[in-house]
Amino acid sequence: MRVNVTVNGEHRQADNVWEGESLLYLLRERLGLPGSKNACEQGECGSCTVYLDDVPACACLVAAGQAEGREVRTVEGLAEGDRLDPIQESFVECGAVQCGFCTPGLLIQAHDLIERTGTPSDAEIREALAGNLCRCTGYEKILDAVRLAASKR
């Protein structure tokens, strides 16, 4: 099957996509966008989170064919040229990145939270990021980074 999708503002096309193939596989293996990570492949960890038509979704749970004609924004699409998005800068400034495997999904989810709420409360941050697992940081630095990014708006 052929899939047409807009990714980070660019029209992309992939041929010979298998019916059972995930959007995550399409992005990483066919379109050369390895930012979204594959950890659990069953919707448990959030490391594969991307925007699908402006709503965060686990790309491992979306069939590639379901993305036909839709817009996807991955972590590669957060920065503008060489300028990092404030949420990316804040993760670096707060030391919220260790192995980095969870980071792309957390960035998308936190970016969406700040877009929607402006200055989220701690409870809102915890709720929004509850589906994104991190085995390294203990989460405190991630919370600091989201607070800092919100304060930069």
Binding interface with ligand FES (CB under 6 A): 38-41, 43-48, 58, 60, 97-102, 134-137
Identity of the residue, 2 or 138, whose beta carbon is nearer to ligand FES in the bound complex: 138
Least CB distance to ligand FES at residue 38 (A): 5
Beta bridge partners of 42: none
DSSP label of 28: I
Dump strand ranges (E) for 35-97.
Answer: 49-52, 55-58, 71-73
Least CB distance to ligand FES at residue 81 (A): 26
Least CB distance to ligand FES at residue 99 (A): 3
Identity of the residue, 8 or 38, whose beta carbon is nearer to ligand FES in the bound complex: 38
Tokens for 54, please give them.
Answer: 């402006």
Identity of the residue, 51 or 153, whose beta carbon is nearer to ligand FES in the bound complex: 51
Q: What is the largest CA-CA distance in the chain?
A: 45
| DSSP-based three-state secondary structure for 99 | coil
Classify burial at 13, counting beta carbons within 10 Å of its beta carbon; exposed 0-12, middle 13-18, buried 19 or more: exposed
Dihedral sign, Cα of residue 62, residue 83, residue 98, residue 30 = positive
Least CB distance to ligand FES at residue 60 (A): 3
Identity of the residue, 2 or 126, whose beta carbon is nearer to ligand FES in the bound complex: 126
**What angle separates helix 103-117 from helix 140-151, to the nearest 10 degrees?**
40
Identity of the residue, 77 or 104, whose beta carbon is nearer to ligand FES in the bound complex: 104
Least CB distance to ligand FES at residue 141 (A): 9
